[in-house]
Amino acid sequence: MAGQSHDLAAREETPSVQTPTRSVVITGATGGLGTATVQRLAGAGWQVFAADIDSPALHSLASERIVPLPVDVTDGACVDALRNRVAAHTSALAGVVNFAGVLEVGPLVELDEAAFRRVLDVNVVGTFLVMKALFPLVRAGHGRLVLISSETGWQTAMPFNGPYAMSKHAVEAYGDALRRELMLLGIPVIKIQPGAFRTGMVAGAAGRFEKLAANSVDFGKQLAKATNWLPREERRAKDPAELASLIERALTERRWRAAYSINANPASSMLTRLPSRVVDRLLLLALRRD
């Protein structure tokens, strides 16, 4: 994949995670991918601290090996409280997996300011706050930091996906910088770049696009066309259990990768390899006014 071969090929050898009781914090625990990973690791014997916005869904995860912990990742004080509650259970973590994130789409010149700030606050600032707060426990456990990016994080940005793409490109840059800093301390930082999975996100995006198309001043027809492309994503979506298995590998395998790409969209991946002028022309032909 263009621009990613160095990440996907880069490997560092470190001892596999072998703490007496492997403990991990998973944020975004009530989302489809987060829940699948919580259940996978708990079933494999991990102590899982499942963190998300306070809700019945979060507390329903509670079990012998799963401790639900409410958190708002955009609130520094709340994230610090999460760290303190985790520290009350364990002095060391084998890993942190940050699934917490939101999807936002729409024309950048029409997007509501609050919605734009929200996607950056959750996806970028939240990632920073979580990793910073929990780092001392991860260092004590010789653990690993796992960032959930997206295929959108390394692929060229598409029309109307700007807010989400911007946030995930930022997560990619954050992950690279953090990995190159923490390799000096022997702490792995790993990026996961998922494509489509069966979590309801595509269906939610379709509803959002339909609403945007109805209300847009300048892009109604183009947004309607983009909505029609989404069922293809739904058809190629994978089982969240596959991603949960990959997360377990990233946390435990001896020769870890800097980045793991899974179920990337072939068309978007191809466009990323082409010159920008060619991509722009293809998109113009696909989305031009009738």
Q: Which H/E stretch holds residue 213?
A: helix 201-215
The 3-class secondary structure across 92-129, one letter per residue, is CCCEEEECCCCCCCCCCCCCCHHHHHHHHHHHHHHHHH
- Please give the structure tokens belonging to residue 64: 């012998």
Which residue among 135, 160, 164, 260 is the active-site one?
Answer: 164
Per the annotation, the verdict on 164 as an active-site residue is yes
Given a contact cutoff of 8 angstroms between Cβ atoms, the answer to whether 216 and 59 are in contact is no
Cβ count within 10 A of residue 227: 19
CA-CA-CA-CA dihedral for 42, 50, 165, 236, to nearest 10: 40
**How far is 284 from 280, CA to CA, in rounded Å?**
6
- Please give the structure tokens belonging to residue 127: 């990632």
Given a contact cutoff of 8 angstroms between Cβ atoms, the answer to whether 63 and 110 are in contact is no
Sequence-distant contacts of 123-126: CB under 8 A, at least 24 apart: 123/164, 123/167, 123/168, 123/170, 123/171, 124/167, 124/170, 124/171, 124/174, 125/74, 126/27, 126/73, 126/74, 126/79, 126/98, 126/100, 126/101
Instruction: Give the torsion sign (CA, 173, 174, 177, 180).
Output: negative
Enzyme catalytic residues:
164
